[in-house]
Structure 1
Amino acid sequence: MNLYFRLFWLLFWRMRRARTIDFLDVSRLEFRAWPTDCDINLHLTNARYPALMDLARTYMLSEMGLLKPFLQRKWLPVVNASEFTFIRDIKPLHKFNIDTRLLGWDDKYFYIEQRFVSQRGLHAIANVRGLFVCKGRKITTAELLQAAAFQGEAPALAADVLAWKQLLQAKKQQNQ
């Protein structure tokens, strides 16, 4: 339930005060780990990380000025894959940020990095692979870049992201 409150807070309060960032800039959204976000080990439960990441990616689109135009086109983001590395726990009532940035893209997918950071340091890193769809149709990268008015070159994907991409392709081929 508290994710709905956070979503309303994001849509009706935070986005109205959002700064403007460029397509490849880092978006930062602050959170606090509420007791309802935590498990019996008294830290942020693993299931809460992807839910908060959804909000942070939505906020990034808003800061880029793309959320409203994409929604008007009825383009909806879909996560295709994600991978997490947990480093340090986040305790109840602890403040932290989710830093979100676009790592790059290929013909079909966008690759996003999300870092959970606080004054204590880095807590977790997650990579997300996603795309946009509209009425069952995949929006091409070219369409999306054109709608975003991005003219630059795609950043080169880091070696670890390329290896992850190859692993995902191998899994897909093995399970067809």
Structure 2
Amino acid sequence: MYPFLRLAKEFYVHRNAAPLPLTGTHVSHHICWPWDLDIWMELNNGRTLTLLDLGRLPLAKRVGLIAALKAQGWGLTMAGVSVRYRRRVRMFQRFEIRSRCVGWDNRFIYIEQGMWRNGDCANHALYRSAVTDSNGIVAPERVMQAMGLSADSPPLPDWVTAWIAAEATRPWPPMAD
């Protein structure tokens, strides 16, 4: 089940947090609960993706994206993700999620997130997100203008542009065999 109560808690905890610049880092603190575990008694890989929402959505609020989405009647969706899992997160362990926008291209906004425990990165994700309206994807340039920001993206890191290039070679739809 989606962690609606945990998300509400995050919005409440960060309700008075200072606004962030678009590429600023939002940090949130969490606990791995028993219902987050897999059969190996560690944070489930799929649940990890769900918990990362708890960092992304307050980030979107703090940078002004949610206000722009509401004002324009737009939506937000995830269009892809690449994740590296490197350290286990076990029951009742505390961790923090660090979330930030790294930039955008002509279609997508790229968000970097990591779960950290005791100074070590447990996992790291790169998301491709899209703002949508009834006609499909809204160009990030329009989104930035609606937020009162420059339409120019900061330079994307090489590893992000390499991922974008690799994704462009991936067949869609995938093979049905």
Query: One-letter code of the match for 1:147?
Result: A
Counterpart secondary structure, 1:77: strand
User: 2:140 — aligned with what?
Assistant: 141
Write the deviation string for residues 31-60 of structure 1: whole angstroms up to 9, x where unpaired: 111111011211110011111112211110
Identity of aligned residues (%): 23
User: 2:13 — aligned with what?
Assistant: 14
Aligned residues: 175
Give unmatched runs, 5+ long, in structure 2: none
Q: If the length of structure 1 is used for normalisation, what is the TM-score?
A: 0.90
Alignment of structure 1 residues 113-132 onto 2, 5 Å: 113-132=112-131
User: 1:62 — aligned with what?
Assistant: 61
Give the Cα separation in 2 of the matches to 1:62 and 1:18.
10
Alignment of structure 1 residues 38-49 onto 2, 5 Å: 38-49=37-48
Q: Say which is worse superposed, 87-96 or 151-160, in terms of deviation.
A: 151-160
Cα distance change on mapping 1:89 and 1:158 into 2, 3 Å = same
Q: CA deviation at 1:74?
A: 2.1
Give the Cα separation in 2 of the matches to 1:155 and 1:23.
10
Contact 1:18–1:62 at 8 Å: present in 2 too? no
Q: CA deviation at 1:89?
A: 0.7
Give the Cα separation in 1 of the matches to 2:66 and 2:172.
34
Q: Say which is worse superposed, 71-80 or 88-97, in terms of deviation.
A: 71-80
Cα distance change on mapping 1:38 and 1:145 into 2, 3 Å = same
Contact 1:29–1:97 at 8 Å: present in 2 too? yes
Runs of 4+ aligned structure 1 residues displaced above 4 Å come to 173-176
Counterpart secondary structure, 2:84: strand
Q: CA deviation at 1:137?
A: 2.6
Q: If the length of structure 2 is used for normalisation, what is the TM-score?
A: 0.90
Cα distance change on mapping 1:55 and 1:74 into 2, 3 Å = farther
Q: For the aligned residues, what is the CA RMSD?
A: 2.0
Write the deviation string for residues 54-94 of structure 1: whole angstroms up to 9, x where unpaired: 22111101111331331232211111110000110111111
Contact 2:142–2:151 at 8 Å: present in 1 too? no
Counterpart secondary structure, 1:132: strand
